[in-house]
Chains A and B, each alone.
Chain A
Amino acid sequence: MAYNKPLPNTKGVSEIYWKGLKEKKFLIPHCNECNEMFFYPRVVCPHCGGTNIEFQDHNGKGEIYSYSIVEKSFIQGFEKEVPYTVALVQLEGGKARMMTNIIECEPEKVEIGMPVEIHFQDVTDEIALPHFKPMKGGR
C-alpha cells in the first residue's frame, strides 16, 4: 500500500538535510560564527545571527526532552496506529531539538531523559524520516 501519511516538503534550504537522511547521513546545520548547531535548517543562525552555516555530520544520538503517547490520532494515516509516541529529542552536543517518533519501544516504557539514537526510516523512494529508538545498552 502506498504511504499515506503526511510527507515533508523537502525543497529549499533543507534539501541537503533530507537528501542526507535518504543516504543514512544525519546532517545538522552548524554555525561557523558561534560554533553552535541548530535545527531546523535556516540561512541565518538563530543563536548569533551569523550566515556562515554548513551542514555537519551528527552522530544521531540524543535524549528524550519530552514525549506524549498519542491515543487518539486526527492525522491522516496515523488513525489506526495508536498508541504511538511523539517525542522531542535533544541532540547530543549542542542546542538542537527535533520532533520525532520513538520506535522499537513500548510507549509505556518511554521516559524523559532516555538515551535514543536515530533510525533512518525509509518511507518513499525519495524520503527517509528521522525516527529514534532506545540506544543499545542505554547510556
Chain B
Amino acid sequence: MSFFKDVAIAGVAESELGNVPHMNSVDLMAQASVRALQEAGLKKEDVDGLFSSSAHYSMPTVTLAEYMGITPKYMDATSIGGASFVSHVAHAAQAIVSGMCEVALIAYGSTQRTDGGGLANITESNPFEDPFGYNDPITAYSLAAQRHMFEFGTTRDQLSEVAVATRKWASMNEKAFKRDLITHDDVKNSTLISTPLTKLDCCLVSDGGAALVLTTRERAEKLNTKPTYIWGYGESTTHRSISNMPSLVHTAAIESGKSAYQMAGVGPEDIQVAELYDAFSINVILFLEDLGFCKKGEGGRFISNGNIAPGGKLPVNTNGGGLSYCHPGMYGLFTIIEAVRQLRGESGERQVDNCNLALAHGNGGVLSSEVTMVLSNETKS
C-alpha cells in the first residue's frame, strides 16, 4: 500500500464561513476551490480530477464542473455522509497513482444555515424510526451518549469538557463562528434537546465550503506550499440507522484507525495533533477511545484532565471543531485542512509546537461511517 507515498496535498482553503446568505452551496464550493488552487499556484485548467459529495446536489461533481468550466478526466462522488471528503482524498490518491488524473480537486459547500438550520438531507425515510419522533441526528448521538454513561460512568461534566476545551481552541481561531469562552455550567444549562445532550453539546449550524488540491508528490514539491504527505488511511462502516448500530459504544473508527495506523507504521502515541469530527460532544470521547488514545471507557476521564485543551497532552480540534468553528452539515474536509495547517506551522496563536504527525478523522451518518487519515510534513521513510 505504498501509493500514498507518491502524492501530496498542495493546497487547502475555506470559502467564506458562518452566515453567507448571498451565496448558494455551489458558489461556496467554487470559491473555496479557487482559493485552494491559488494557494498551490495552480489554475482551474490544471484540474483533471474532481471529487465532491453533497446534501444539496444529486450530482455534485457534475454541478461543480459545469459551474467552474472544468472538464475532468476522472470524477468520484462517493457519499458516506460527513466522512465523504476524507475518503475522497484517499480515493483521489489512488486515481493519481494509477494515472487516471494528475491534479485532483476535492470540494465541498453548503448553505445549511441560510437554508433554515435543519440538517440538509436528500430525503431518505425510515419506516422503523420515523414514527417515533426521533430527532435525526441528535437523538441518535444522545442514545450513544446515554449508553456510554451507563456502561462506563461517563459524566455530564465530561461531555461538557469537550465543548469547553474546543471553545478554548476556537478563541484562538479568527475564522471560528463562536469564540467567547464557555464554562461547564454553560454547557449543562443550555437548552436540553434530547437527554443527555444540550444545545452546546451539538455542532454549529453554519454555511461554508472547503477545498483541497492533491497532486503527485513530484509536482507538489515544485508548487507554492509546503507539501503534506499521507502516511495512512482507513475507512469502514457498521450501520446506517442508529437502531442497527451493533454496539452504541464501539464505532467503525476502531477499524478505520487500525487500517490507518498499520499503513502509516505509527500508533496513537506518535500522533501530535488530532482533528476528530465533533458533530456532538460524545463523538470526541468515542473516537479518542476507538482510535487508541485511551482505553475503551476511559474517554471521559482522559479529557477531564485537560488533555485535549490548549496545553494538554493531545491537542484535539485545534480549529475549534464542528462545535465552535464551523459545521455546514458535512464537516469532514475541515479536519484535514486544520491538520495540514498545523503540519505547515501556519496555525498562528493555536499552533502546536513541533507538529510533524497529525490525525484527521471523519464521521458520517449517525456514527455510521468512519474514516481516518494520518498526515505528515515529512515523507514516509
Contact = CB atoms under 8 A, between A and B. Distances in A.
B312 interface: no
A97 interface: yes
A39 B31 CA distance: 45
B254 to A, nearest CB: 19
A73 B193 CA distance: 7
B194 A98 contact: no
A70 B139 contact: yes
B243 A98 contact: yes
Interface string A2-17: 0001111110001000
A88 B139 CA distance: 11
A57 interface: no
Interface in A71-94: 71-75, 77-78, 81, 84, 86, 88
A68 B195 contact: yes
Contacts of A5: 131, 133
Summarize B's interface: helix, strand, loop or mixed: mixed
Interface centre among A7, A66, A81, by most chain B C-beta atoms within 10 angstroms, is: A66
A86 B133 contact: yes
B242 interface: yes
B147 A99 contact: no
A81 B244 CA distance: 26
Given A5-B131, A66-B144, A112-B146, 15 more contacts: A66-B147, A66-B248, A67-B143, A68-B143, A68-B146, A70-B133, A70-B139, A70-B194, A71-B195, A72-B193, A77-B133, A78-B133, A86-B194, A99-B129, A129-B131
Nearest to B147: A66
Contacts of A75: 133-135
A84 B194 CA distance: 10
Interface of A: 5-10, 14, 39-40, 65-75, 77-78, 81, 84, 86, 88, 97-101, 112-113, 123, 129
7 contacts: A65-B248, A66-B248, A68-B197, A74-B135, A75-B135, A86-B134, A86-B139
Nearest to B129: A99
B127 interface: yes
Nearest to B191: A72
Contacts of B194: 68-72, 86
B125 interface: yes
Contacts of A71: 191-195
Nearest to A40: B128
Nearest to A74: B135
Interface string B123-141: 0010111111111000100
B118 interface: yes
B133 A66 contact: no
Interface centre among B131, B146, B195, by most chain A C-beta atoms within 10 angstroms, is: B131
Nearest to A102: B132
A17 to B, nearest CB: 9
Nearest to B135: A74
A129 B134 CA distance: 14
Contacts of B33: none
B139 A10 contact: no
B131 A88 contact: no
A129 B132 CA distance: 9
Contacts of A6: 125, 130-131
B125 A9 contact: yes
B127 A10 contact: yes
Contacts of B134: 70, 75, 86, 99
Contacts of B118: 74
Interface in B226-268: 242-244, 248
Contacts of B139: 68, 70, 86
A107 to B, nearest CB: 8
A100 B242 CA distance: 12
Contact of B243 (A78, A97, A113): A97
A42 to B, nearest CB: 11
Contacts of B197: 68
B99 to A, nearest CB: 36
B142 interface: yes
Contacts of B143: 66-68, 86, 88
Contacts of B150: 66, 112-113
